[in-house]
Amino acid sequence: MRLDEPGWWYRPAGFLSTLLAPAAWAYGRAAIHRFRNGAGYRSSLPVICIGNLTAGGAGKTPFAMYLIGVLRQLGEHPAVLSRGYGGRLAGPHLVTAGDRAGDVGDEPLLLARHAPTFVARDRAQGARAIERHAAELRDATVIVMDDGLQNPALHKDLVIAVVDGKRGIGNGRTIPAGPLRAPLSFQLPLLDLVVLNRAETDEGPGLDWPWLATCSAPVLPMQTGTSDGAKALFGGRAVVAFAGIGEPRKFFATLAALGADVRDRIAFPDHHPFTEADANRLLGLAARHHAELITTEKDYARLEGAETGPLLALQQRTRTLPLRVWMRDEDAQRLTTLMREKLDAARRQ
């Protein structure tokens, strides 16, 4: 859970949620009004949007990386469009090797390893930039829009919501009474596909959630796990784990499942910009516990570029735990078929 998310969002609605219901109603109405009154730019390239129904992490960035691979198998040349959350650049800006998380955000740095990636606060301007640079971007044929499901600025040809397979939509209420970014009754009709992100060991709720029965879009499970050999690398090792992602507990649980001796777990808010004080604290914990430091690839992206001092020491002392996602063959085929249909339809318009 993000440190800035109330824990009661993911429990049955109670007193606080009810107290905040009027504010949630106003927030939801504003989100709907903004969407319905936005003039969406229609790009000359098909646009696939990967978003969240809720605030907080659900695994959309790993899924975006997976989707980029699927698109390449179909002969497409994807280019990524991201808001660049946490970065100072408004864009449009093509992410390069010299960029840092403070410039473009952490997620674009990861995505740029898989496909040409633009950051742009204005999504329509970002799409136009990709169109202008299509030849330079290895003849970009499709835009993968990271986040922005509720953003009306850009017309979307395929809308995919990634949902956390354990937390789901929490109490089902809108911010601030719950985690939803807009009322569920408004969001669900926008969707062409729901991807349920589950850890490979998950046995909890999921496909049988009642709210999914009201969704006309197909639902496909996606599995998240570690790369081959991770157990041999981390099993039995003493580690101090830290993470500033949407759901740090998932990362800590994964390490424990690999057999790592997790001496301490330090959770930061999502996209947290690490400071020298953070670095000194983590380095001190590692020394005290005689343990290695380990974090996620997304967190490590925010450490890269440090030149001196404690942050450089933290960068040099920290290892990452790579994760991978996959789908069963039949689910991957359903995803491929849906994408072919939507891409073909977009190009006929």
Interval 61-107: pLDDT, tens:
889 999 999 999 999 999 999 988 888 888 799 998 888 888 898 88
Tell me what pLDDT residue 1 has: 40
Instruction: Answer whether residue 299 shows pLDDT above 60.
Output: yes
Taking the model in full, what pTM does it have? 0.87
- The secondary element (H helix, E strand) that includes residue 199 is strand 193-199
Instruction: Answer whether residue 5 shows pLDDT above 80.
Output: no
CA–CA dist 122, 126 (Å, integer): 6
Instruction: Answer whether residue 165 shows pLDDT above 90.
Output: no
In this structure, are 37 and 24 located in the same domain?
yes
In this structure, are 206 and 150 located in the same domain?
yes
Coil, strand or helix: which one is 167? coil
In this structure, are 186 and 296 located in the same domain?
no
Nearest to 301 by CA among 93, 111, 164: 111
- The CATH number given to whatever domain includes residue 257 is 3.40.50
Structure tokens at 224: 């998240």
**Domain range for 293:** 230-321
Nearest to 56 by CA among 187, 180, 232: 180
In this structure, are 32 and 46 located in the same domain?
yes
Q: Which amino acid makes up residue 183?
A: P
In this structure, are 287 and 341 located in the same domain?
no
How many distinct structural domains can be found in the chain?
2
In this structure, are 258 and 332 located in the same domain?
no
Interval 199-215: pLDDT, tens:
655 554 456 688 888 88
Tell me what pLDDT residue 141 has: 93
Tell me what pLDDT residue 3 has: 45
Coil, strand or helix: which one is 334? helix
CA–CA dist 332, 190 (Å, integer): 22
Instruction: Answer whether residue 174 shows pLDDT above 80.
Output: yes
CA–CA dist 175, 180 (Å, integer): 6
In this structure, are 158 and 47 located in the same domain?
yes
Interval 215-245: pLDDT, tens:
889 999 998 888 777 777 887 889 999 998 8
In this structure, are 238 and 315 located in the same domain?
yes
Instruction: Answer whether residue 125 shows pLDDT above 90.
Output: yes
Tokens 């403070």 -> residue = 102
Backbone angles phi, psi at 281, to 5 degrees: -65, -45
In this structure, are 344 and 304 located in the same domain?
no
Q: Which amino acid makes up residue 218?
A: P
Tokens 């090797």 -> residue = 97
